[in-house]
Amino acid sequence: MKHAQTGFYCYILECSDGTFYTGWTTDPERRVLQHNKGVGAKYTSTRRPVKLVYLESHPSRAAAMKRELAIKKMKRAQKNRLAESGSLPENRRENFRQIG
Residues ≥6 apart with Cβ < 8 Å to 28: 3, 9, 11, 52, 55, 96
Answer whether residue 2 shows pLDDT above 60. Answer: no
**Model pLDDT, residue 98:** 46
HSE of 41 in the Cβ direction (CA atoms, 13 Å)? Answer: 15
pLDDT tens readout for residues 41-97? 999 999 999 999 999 999 999 999 999 999 999 999 999 999 998 776 554 444 454
Span 5-10, average pLDDT: 84
Domain boundaries, the chain: 8-94
Q: Pinpoint the alpha helices (H) of the chain.
A: 28-37, 42-45, 61-72, 76-85, 93-99
- pTM listed for this prediction: 0.83
CATH superfamily of domain region 8-94: GIY-YIG endonuclease (3.40.1440.10)
